[in-house]
Structure 1
Amino acid sequence: MSYEPISVFDMFKIGVGPSSSHTLGPWRAAQQFVEELRSDGVLRQVTDLRVLLYGSLAKTGVGHGTDIAVQLGLMDEDPVTIDVEQIQPKINDIAGSRRLLLGGVQEIGFNPPIAIEFLYTEVLPFHSNALSFLVTLENGEQRSSTFYSIGGGFVVKENETASAQRRSQPPFPINNGKDLLHWCIKTGMAIHEVVAENENSWRPEEQTRAGLIQIWDVMRSCMYRGCHTEGVLPGGLQVKRRAAGLNKRLLKGKSYADYESWADAIREGGNNFGYILDWVSCFALAVNEENASFGRVVTAPTNGAAGVIPAVLQYYLIFCERKDDADINGKILRFLLTASEIGSIFKKEATISAAMGGCQAEIGVSSSMAAAALTEAMGGTQRQAMMAAEIAMEHHLGMTCDPIGGLVQVPCIERNTMGAIKAITASQLALQSTPDFAKVSLDAVIKTMWDTARDMNYKYKETADGGLAINVPLSLPEC
């Protein structure tokens, strides 16, 4: 079996909502295409450009902002650094002027409703999320490239392999759960230590640490922002944001000025089960309400499931750890390293794309990642962490992706709260269990997930053609 070296920074990518496969992936594909034109020296010769969206990208592309992402990518805007408040004005400028600054340098005529075609009935064989770019040059020459957004912001060009595969093989190559356990047993290292050694083979340790702290900073900023933003989500469903109201009710008038004092105010509320449950839900809601609003989020492992891991990590830091812990940053790093490895195994052995596997591939995988990370953070063994990952996925098997109106709102936002709670429950079960007596392994549940994904009817795979997407009138509120 060939080895795919996936990094923690492949699983956790900073970007813009609402979807990693339908927004971030197409955005990156557009940037790659622009870079191709630039490298070939023909960028300034382009006179005409068309974009073709296939399969799931066409069916739910408008609700996921695929057309918006493609236009921003073609202008060479970066999802990591773009001012999210300027996204809609930039798109409005293109629509009004019918002009686009390709690669930031070549102005071309571009009327989005005509230049971007949604091919609802056409699906390319490699993956449901496909898009093609077609350009005409000054001399009449035509060029085209096709890309596949395969989930979690990963992009593959037709007839090429994923960029992650160009990394060198690390000291502890891992394709599945058996490999991970093998290295843990052979070295005596915890999961996060094995992962850290692999990451250190690709870059300096301090660079990894700084990158992971930045990942957590974006996660917690997103959570804090979501807990303090009211209003209605964009897209036409008229879904009211709930995190801010829940945050206000739970804090009962306590004052604070920033994230740290906010976290202190939450801690002061105690450890009542219902109180903690409400906060975990609030954290997850906040992130995914931001995601649905084209806010800055981190794929974990996808945008649609971006709220699970921040919510569980926030739960751990606030309710399970001392505020004055001198090693708090180290614990955050270890949590994220462990979570990323579980996610990478799912990607290698199955999928993290809802268009391929339904919501089990997003919320299910994120819950599994969070469960393993929390278990190790709470002092669990490597076997217990992997057991927690298995339990979390076992109870997400078969979950469909059926977004109402093609928007990452209903049922997606609430599903993040369920994924977070299931992760905590799975961790508690594993910590109170002896893995030697477990009947189901992590690899067995991953295989089962992939079998289920392949058996699942296409209409339950991010098409908005089945499930809640066709059984709930668009005029109804979420709850």
Structure 2
Amino acid sequence: MSAYVSAFELFSVGVGPSSSHTVGPLRAARVFVERLREARVLPSVARVGCVLYGSLGATGIGHGTPDAVVAGWQGYAPETVPPGNVRGAWSGWLDGAALLLDGTHPVAFSRGDVVFEPRTRLPQHPNAMRMTAWDAAGAVVSAETFYSVGGGFIRRDGDDEGGREPTRWPYRFTSAAELLELCDRDGLSIAGLARRNEEALRPEGEVAAGLDAIWAAMTECVEAGLRADGTLPGMLRVRRRAGAMRAQLEAAESAGGRELPGEWLGAFALAVNEENASGGRVVTAPTNGAAGILPAVAMYWWRFAAESLLAPEDLDRRRGIRRFLLTATALGSLFKANASISGAEGGCQAEVGSACAMAAGGLTAVMGGDNAQIENAAEIAMEHHLGLTCDPVGGLVQIPCIERNAIAASTAVTAARLALRGDGTHYVSLDAVVETMRQTGIDMSHKYKETSEGGLAVNVVEC
């Protein structure tokens, strides 16, 4: 076994507002219908239904989960579906209208065919859903349980978790200590090791092009958020702020004021998470709820730090971004394998904390840090997110999620700077912090794990 997860799985393009509550259920519903088609039983299906358990049942409506399930049944994929085809797919459904499974096979469908069971928590994971297909006589054609385990990753009940792991990883590690030992043994950077793993699955040119495509999707999301205004969907009526911040910062710069990189950093993060909250297209990094941190920190480096380290040509910057993403991939793999990147499983420490650590490590790498300093930066970032709860007001990925990404982006930069001022030696290891995060997530009350049953979610009056 190896902890390593491909960059092209860890950073996947999807739609907001949640990787675990939107992207994962959409993907699971699509897989369910694909399996009906592959088993050649799709023509016999007359009705479908889904039960959402635990956290999916508790905050599913605010996260667009039933909309995502209906879109997935229609055959849409997270990477390519127009966001507008997901928004309202269930909430705006006309009961009794024909639902086209896989885009071709009509069945009658009503909103009541999606059932919410927030008090029932399946033991395998708090994000569980059971999908059933019946024939015209009411007999069950197929019934399967899926788990949305964070970051858009899904697991089907009965699947062998270890069976999907590529056997061709040349570098296999299960801990940060092993990762550093392998790098030291072969004289590799953490990004270099990750690149060799990626190139075991696809040619070098495809790896570079794929990483560039991830960065392009991230930058498009940042720019879209910086140009948008108005209010976000939902009962909170939260106003977008990134566009106004952009205008203020541009006006200050054009008037001769000095650039304010730290304020731009916050604007970048707000922009992404406002796009996510609106159901727009985002990159899981490693989740949607924490999707603004890595793009914000990478954009901060691209616009304000790269010129001092690299030649001004874009090609050099793109190489830096690839190094940033590959470094973050290796670090994120450790969190996913040894703890969690699911807010429903580990609280927001698992989402924002992991993303902050990944961004801190990536920034340290492109700022010239060595492997020990990268590991130190990731440890600093994660250590200071331990115990962070996930308590979204109204079940929406807005308060405190949007601001939290901006704060964590700043923390990632601070962690990188602290690590770069040292020589990589430190008392607490990244492995110790990852294990602490795992234990803390187990100990944390379910009220603070994406159920909106505690914390700000019950102490802030919804307007």
CA drift of 1:140 comes to: 4.8
CA drift of 1:239 comes to: 0.5
Asked whether the equivalents of residues 87 and 279 of structure 2 are also in contact (C-alpha less than 8 Å), the reply is no
Q: What whole-Å deviation, never above 9, does each CA across 1:409-457 have from its counterpart, x for those lacking one?
A: 0000000001100000000000001222x11000011011111111111
Asked whether the equivalents of residues 5 and 164 of structure 1 are also in contact (C-alpha less than 8 Å), the reply is no
Quote the residue 1:259 is aligned against.
none
What residue identity is the alignment partner of 2:274?
Answer: E
Q: What whole-Å deviation, never above 9, does each CA across 1:53-103 have from its counterpart, x for those lacking one?
A: 000000000000000100000000122112223434655774365321111
Distance 2:48 2:162 in 1: 25
Q: What whole-Å deviation, never above 9, does each CA across 1:79-138 have from its counterpart, x for those lacking one?
A: 2112223434655774365321111111111001x1000012111110000001111124
The structure 1 residue matched to 2:129, chosen from 128, 131, 136, is 131
CA drift of 1:380 comes to: 0.4
What's the C-alpha RMSD, in Å, of the aligned pairs?
Answer: 1.7
Asked whether the equivalents of residues 53 and 130 of structure 1 are also in contact (C-alpha less than 8 Å), the reply is yes
1:338 aligns with 2:327: yes
Superposition pairs for residues 426-465 of structure 1, below 5 Å?
426-436=415-425, 438-465=426-453
What residue identity is the alignment partner of 2:354?
Answer: V
Q: Percent identity?
A: 46
Moved more, 42-51 or 11-20: 42-51
Distance 1:38 1:163 in 2: 26
The structure 1 residue matched to 2:387, chosen from 398, 408, 433, is 398
Q: What whole-Å deviation, never above 9, does each CA across 1:164-195 have from its counterpart, x for those lacking one?
A: 83412411102110111011110111110000
Distance 1:63 1:282 in 2: 24
Asked whether the equivalents of residues 4 and 164 of structure 1 are also in contact (C-alpha less than 8 Å), the reply is no
Asked whether the equivalents of residues 460 and 467 of structure 1 are also in contact (C-alpha less than 8 Å), the reply is yes
Superposition pairs for residues 322-337 of structure 1, below 5 Å?
322=307, 323-337=312-326
Distance 1:410 1:222 in 2: 20
The structure 1 residue matched to 2:120, chosen from 119, 122, 126, is 122
Distance 1:400 1:123 in 2: 19
- From the superposition, tell whether residues 336 and 106 of structure 1 become closer, same or farther in structure 2 (CA, over 3 Å): same
Distance 1:342 1:185 in 2: 16
Distance 2:460 2:334 in 1: 35
Distance 1:55 1:428 in 2: 40
Quote the residue 1:24 is aligned against.
23
What residue identity is the alignment partner of 1:310?
Answer: P
- Any gaps of 5 or more consecutive residues in structure 2? none
Q: What whole-Å deviation, never above 9, does each CA across 1:313-358 have from its counterpart, x for those lacking one?
A: 0000000012435411111111100011101100011000000100
Quote the residue 1:215 is aligned against.
214
Distance 1:64 1:300 in 2: 17
SS at 2:48's partner residue? strand
Quote the residue 1:171 is aligned against.
170
Asked whether the equivalents of residues 3 and 334 of structure 2 are also in contact (C-alpha less than 8 Å), the reply is no
What residue identity is the alignment partner of 1:181?
Answer: L
Quote the residue 2:365 is aligned against.
376
The structure 2 residue matched to 1:316, chosen from 297, 301, 313, is 301
Q: What whole-Å deviation, never above 9, does each CA across 1:5-48 have from its counterpart, x for those lacking one?
A: 41111110100000000000000000110111011001121001
Superposition pairs for residues 34-73 of structure 1, below 5 Å?
34-73=33-72
Asked whether the equivalents of residues 43 and 103 of structure 1 are also in contact (C-alpha less than 8 Å), the reply is no
Moved more, 73-82 or 384-393: 73-82
Distance 2:454 2:89 in 1: 34
Quote the residue 2:261 is aligned against.
276
Distance 2:424 2:265 in 1: 27
Structure 1's consecutive aligned runs of 4 or more residues displaced over 6 angstroms after TM superposition are none
Asked whether the equivalents of residues 5 and 165 of structure 1 are also in contact (C-alpha less than 8 Å), the reply is no
Asked whether the equivalents of residues 4 and 330 of structure 2 are also in contact (C-alpha less than 8 Å), the reply is no
The structure 2 residue matched to 1:300, chosen from 285, 292, 314, is 285
1:288 aligns with 2:278: no
Superposition pairs for residues 101-250 of structure 1, below 5 Å?
101-112=100-111, 114-138=112-136, 140-142=138-140, 143-162=142-161, 165-250=164-249
Asked whether the equivalents of residues 101 and 107 of structure 2 are also in contact (C-alpha less than 8 Å), the reply is yes
Asked whether the equivalents of residues 392 and 426 of structure 1 are also in contact (C-alpha less than 8 Å), the reply is yes
What residue identity is the alignment partner of 2:127?
Answer: N
TM-score by length of 1: 0.92
SS at 2:94's partner residue? helix
SS at 1:167's partner residue? coil
What residue identity is the alignment partner of 1:442?
Answer: L
What residue identity is the alignment partner of 2:457?
Answer: A
- Any gaps of 5 or more consecutive residues in structure 1? 255-264
CA drift of 1:235 comes to: 1.1
TM-score by length of 2: 0.96
SS at 1:338's partner residue? helix
What residue identity is the alignment partner of 1:430?
Answer: A
What residue identity is the alignment partner of 1:180?
Answer: L
SS at 1:212's partner residue? helix
What residue identity is the alignment partner of 1:459?
Answer: K
Quote the residue 2:251 is aligned against.
252
What residue identity is the alignment partner of 1:433?
Answer: G
1:95 aligns with 2:80: no
Distance 1:37 1:100 in 2: 15
SS at 2:46's partner residue? strand
Asked whether the equivalents of residues 376 and 385 of structure 1 are also in contact (C-alpha less than 8 Å), the reply is yes
Distance 1:331 1:95 in 2: 49
Quote the residue 2:413 is aligned against.
424
What residue identity is the alignment partner of 1:62?
Answer: I
Moved more, 332-341 or 245-254: 245-254
Distance 1:250 1:97 in 2: 51
What residue identity is the alignment partner of 1:309?
Answer: L
Asked whether the equivalents of residues 225 and 272 of structure 2 are also in contact (C-alpha less than 8 Å), the reply is yes
Distance 1:15 1:401 in 2: 21
SS at 1:149's partner residue? strand
